[in-house]
Structure 1
Amino acid sequence: MNAIPLSLPTAPSRYLLNRMGVIRLTGEDRVKYLHSQVTCDVQALQAGQHTLAGHCDPKGKLWNLFRLVVEPTSLLMLSPRELFAKALPELKKYAVFSKVGIEDASDELPLFGVAGQGADAWIQAQGLHAAAVDGAPYAIQLAPDRWLLLGHPAAVDTLPAEPELDWWGQEILAGLPTMSALHQGEYIPQMLNLQALNGISFRKGCYTGQETVARAKYRGANNRRLFILQGHVSATLTPGDTLEWQLGEHWKRVGIVLDCWQQQQQVLLSAVLPQDLDADACLRIKGDEGSHLHGLPLPYALSDE
């Protein structure tokens, strides 16, 4: 098996996350309102805490997959900006009945990644790891030596810059799903391993799409999950490219690329594939007969929900 072609920098480095945007909820009903819309338990979170979560349509298919960050007087939903055209109107649909304000705050709140050996110590030295404070830059930890900055502290400009694409490659290696607009309305949360990433509460009250999400857990009504793949290709890889699985002398369509990182011919990608796919399955990109992909182990335990 080839070595993984992406690793953390040898020193703390910054990534300007232009791809990511921010939806902000304010108002006295913000927690109650969002709690009734999304998969996570919003009411259980305190200021400074964060979690992955999903916002589904009535059939349980995801409009938005986001990281929820709790501030003292607001809630922040961090996800790719390209999802907002559909996700934002859906989130606002019932807001007229509640005391809640919902807005795209992406231009007000720049987002940076900080990663690399020694990043934990650098964050601590800057005093950025404190609990969330409205209007002041702060940081949340995603993994050892990997942090997300909310706001633009001057100190971040002193760090060497790395390509934003490498940040998303690190997300892939962490088994964290990232949706594109073309995936909206395609996947239930469990297909993106959200139940294994603490992104679904099965104890909270009703929310949009809950019946489908619960059925996938209690009746085994889901046969697909997120995989991490590595390999080589001959052409530029993009989300939505079709994956094929070799069965004897034939190739069968098995899924599409969710997100990808590429350096010349080497690639890392995430994809939603059948749960029972063999660990040694031979995969390729449709139309690229010279491509070859194999699975990498997930860095977390995956339940059978």
Structure 2
Amino acid sequence: MLTIASTPVLYPLTDRAVLSLSGEDRVKYLQGQVTCDVAALEAGDATPGGHCDSKGKLWAPFWLANLGEQLLLLLNRSLVARQLPELKKFAVFAKTDVEDVSERWQVFGLAGEGLSHWLNHHVGDGNLWQGGIVIPVAAEHALLVLPVEAELPELPRGSEQEWLGLMIQAGLPDMSAEHQGEYIPQMLNLQALGGISFTKGCYMGQEIVARAKYRGANKKAMFVLVGKATDKIAVNQDLELQLGDNWRRAGTVLSHWQQGEDCLLTAVLNKDLDADTVFRLKDQPDSRLQLHPLPYDLVD
């Protein structure tokens, strides 16, 4: 539904927060807090990941980048009020400073045909650039995190809403405060994206996350839906699936893109759905949605 631009486009993102971890114990500390393998990252590396409560429910999905002297977490700004105090809670016992540094950084999406070539020409080897970092997130899609004083690349500008649609098409999860504490990481497909390490050892919620893998306890996953909606879509809006002449609640809207009546959205749904299942937004009975294939396999 959304077509990637024929040349690289820069998408200013205002809804991303940037958290920083610095200090000599930053890697060791974060390793014991999140789902991804922080210790495996060299300077310039990045990975998706999740920060959970003790019951394995997500405070936040994020992108983690290693800048060498500090670690940066990129996440939905609405999550910070509840998530940051949890991340800082035990930092007082480690040589680690955890801060919201969003005002010091500017965050952009980068996408378009030829982006890899453009990055090779302008950024060169590695992903560190102008005191910031390029984070590859999908084929010909990347996040660009630069200090506020850095010079921006001379590229066409795109809209934040379009970037969100591109991320939905790529099957990449985004979550707002409305859903904090509801989903384990596998329900947002973090294991399929390399955002969960099952070998690194303990972290907050690790026992629950591991049990979901090894005992098959998780029956849900994040799916992409495509279709038509007559009115504006909202996060946490109820979704229904069709069963004969009836409709049954299926889940809620996680993230969405909309242009006119055309829409894309993500939702956490049961994994045993038929490929031709018909959905609608509960408050928009004339809307119709169907499953859009994920660009990756759903592994446990």
TM-score normalised by structure 2 residue count? 0.96
Looking at structure 2, the residues matched to 302 and 30 of structure 1 have their Cα atoms a distance apart, in angstroms, of 32
Alpha-carbon contact 2:220-2:270 (below 8 Å) kept: yes
* TM superposition shift of 1:48: 0.7
Could you list the structure 1 runs, at least 4 aligned residues long, displaced by more than 6 angstroms after superposition. none
- Of 148, 151, 160 in structure 2, the residue corresponding to residue 154 of structure 1 is 151
| Equivalent position of 1:276 in the other structure | 272
Amino acid of the residue matched to residue 114 of structure 1?
A: L
1:120 aligns to what SS in structure 2?
helix
Amino acid of the residue matched to residue 78 of structure 1?
A: L
| Equivalent position of 1:237 in the other structure | 233
Alpha-carbon contact 1:179-1:259 (below 8 Å) kept: yes
Q: Does 1:145 align with 2:140?
A: yes
Cα-Cα RMSD: 1.3
Amino acid of the residue matched to residue 145 of structure 1?
A: E
Amino acid of the residue matched to residue 154 of structure 1?
A: E
Q: Does 1:207 align with 2:203?
A: yes
| Equivalent position of 1:90 in the other structure | 86
Looking at structure 1, the residues matched to 133 and 37 of structure 2 have their Cα atoms a distance apart, in angstroms, of 23
Identical-residue share of aligned pairs (%): 50
Q: Which runs of 5+ in 2 are unaligned?
A: none
* TM superposition shift of 1:155: 4.3
Amino acid of the residue matched to residue 13 of structure 1?
A: V
Amino acid of the residue matched to residue 151 of structure 2?
A: A
Q: Does 1:295 align with 2:298?
A: no
2:121 aligns to what SS in structure 1?
helix
Deviates most, 259-268 or 144-153:
144-153
Looking at structure 2, the residues matched to 272 and 34 of structure 1 have their Cα atoms a distance apart, in angstroms, of 27
Looking at structure 1, the residues matched to 94 and 55 of structure 2 have their Cα atoms a distance apart, in angstroms, of 24
1:194 aligns to what SS in structure 2?
coil
* TM superposition shift of 1:118: 2.1
Q: Which runs of 5+ in 1 are unaligned?
A: none
1:170 aligns to what SS in structure 2?
helix
* TM superposition shift of 1:116: 1.2
* TM superposition shift of 1:205: 1.1
Alpha-carbon contact 1:126-1:155 (below 8 Å) kept: no
Looking at structure 1, the residues matched to 151 and 188 of structure 2 have their Cα atoms a distance apart, in angstroms, of 36
| Equivalent position of 2:179 in the other structure | 183
* TM superposition shift of 1:144: 3.0
- Count of aligned pairs: 298
Alpha-carbon contact 1:62-1:187 (below 8 Å) kept: yes
